[in-house]
Chain A
Amino acid sequence: MLSKRVIACLDVRDGKLAKSVRFVDTRDIGDPVSKAREYYEDGLDELVFYDITASSDKRNIMLDVVEAVAEQVFIPLSVGGGVRSVGDATDLRLAGAEKINVNSAAVSNPGLIDACAGSIGDQNVVLSMDIARVDDHEAFPSGYRIVINGGRTPTDLDALAWALEGEQRGAGELVVNAIDTDGTREGYEIPLTRMISEAVRIPVIASGGAGKPEHLAEVLTDGAADAALVASMVHFGDYRVSELKRYLHDQGIKVRLSW
């Protein structure tokens, strides 16, 4: 059977590593290339870079980071943040990214998903969704809405409807990022993750809220996620990737243990 994946997400701003807490107050925490190498050697299954560079003239720095990482890290590498066109996706692919994450730009231009899938292949297009809880269940039947621009701007899209549309348009994978739990380290948004994972036939990566190994076990079982994304809990040295994977193995969850 497939192993459940542990994926580390590295937010990169101006070529440096940052970690956002509830999407504000980002703090630099180191060099993305050496961090990527460290996680790779410690058994990480997949790596995501998210470019949060504000100014567009510094965006090429990200290509250099991706290129440097791809030369020494031989696991799937996924890159997102600011992908607005097939051209952006192609540039990142040539630099060494396996998968491309689309997010806000796909909300305003859903055809971007189809275009990227047609150009670089369904399996390489990841639809990343920032999702917030809502009380208005008439407008949002799933109880969740899509938010964009790093969580700052609410949209009229129901989270489940958007996930299904993304799958239908050719996304090969979904990232379910719960902004209510993101950066809190209090656990993933389990009901949301489960609802989406059970509704689609493509893999779902749970994101937002990991703080303890138990949280990963919970989202990979009760949350029905195929992969768990971690950030601050490994970036600040509280846990090692290998430690998380051994914990999951001890809980009876199949993970890759040989690397």
Chain B
Amino acid sequence: MANTDVVIVDYDAGNLRSVQRACAEVGLSARISRAPADVLTAPRVIFPGVGAAGPAMQSIEATGMRAALQEFLATGRPLLGICLGMQISLERSEEQCTQTLGLLPGMVRRFSFSDHTLKVPHMGWNRVRQVRPHPLLAGLEENDEFYFVHGYYPQPSRDDDVFAVSDYEFDFPCAVGRANYFGTQFHPEKSGRVGLRLLAAFRQWDGTC
């Protein structure tokens, strides 16, 4: 694992090469791996993914990745969850009533709108408003937008764990975290310069807030 700056966790939840390419663009040498041992020895971990919570958790349980992620988090090294990877980091999801990893207290809720013309999934670019400072959101400006594709959103138990919100009929949490864990509902790897800036900040991040 020499020269690997970050391990991208592969658990059969979508194509991870776009994350790897975006890491390369900001100077992070990233390796895609499905081996728990690689996660345990990694300097940093990105936990990405798209898809549904149920099959994702089955894959994580079957490969022993659950324990590896919990153990990695306990080391204090930086862990970044993206989209489904972030969602299943919470305790449970309304999607298929799934019990998830519980790396962060809270749950994942399904979008439900009073305005029936609103389309689901929430797909496209939307503004991200910082509600609490965080090193990974440094430099975020009022008009900065990120790319989203999702039908569910995270709701941490503690307000202090919400770092940014986005508006889709109501303000929903889109960047959450605690200590050395940070997770985004949006896709920094598909969000142009603004997203690359977040990944560059992750490269520098020591895992403290």
Contact A2 B15, beta carbon cutoff 8 Å? no
Expressed in whole angstroms, the minimum distance between the Cβ of B185 and any Cβ of chain A is 13
Contact A123 B123, beta carbon cutoff 8 Å? yes
Query: What per-residue 1/0 map shows which CB atoms of A217-259 lie under 8 Å from chain B?
Result: 0000000001100000000000000000000000000001111
Is residue A74 contacting chain B, with contact meaning CB distance below 8 A? yes
Expressed in whole angstroms, the minimum distance between the Cβ of B12 and any Cβ of chain A is 12
Contact B14 A1, beta carbon cutoff 8 Å? no
Expressed in whole angstroms, the minimum distance between the Cβ of A2 and any Cβ of chain B is 5
Compute the total of residue contacts between A and B using a CB distance below 8 Å. Answer: 79
Chain B residues touching A, majority SS: mixed
Contact A226 B193, beta carbon cutoff 8 Å? no
The total of chain B residues at the interface (CB under 8 A) is 34
- Enumerate chain B interface residues (CB-CB to A < 8 A): 14-15, 17-18, 21-22, 24-25, 50-51, 119-126, 141, 143-145, 147, 149, 167-168, 189-196
**A75 neighbours in B (Cβ, 8 Å):** 147, 190-192
**B125 neighbours in A (Cβ, 8 Å):** 2-3, 5, 45, 256
In-complex Cβ contact of A258 among B51, B121, B144 (8 A): B144
Expressed in whole angstroms, the minimum distance between the Cβ of A247 and any Cβ of chain B is 17
Q: A74-B195, A258-B144 are in contact. Are A2 and B124 (CB under 8 A)?
A: yes
Is residue A76 contacting chain B, with contact meaning CB distance below 8 A? yes
Cross-chain pairs A/B with CB under 8 angstroms, 18 sampled: A3-B125, A71-B21, A71-B24, A74-B189, A74-B196, A75-B147, A76-B147, A93-B15, A94-B17, A98-B18, A121-B51, A123-B50, A173-B123, A203-B119, A203-B124, A226-B119, A258-B145, A258-B194
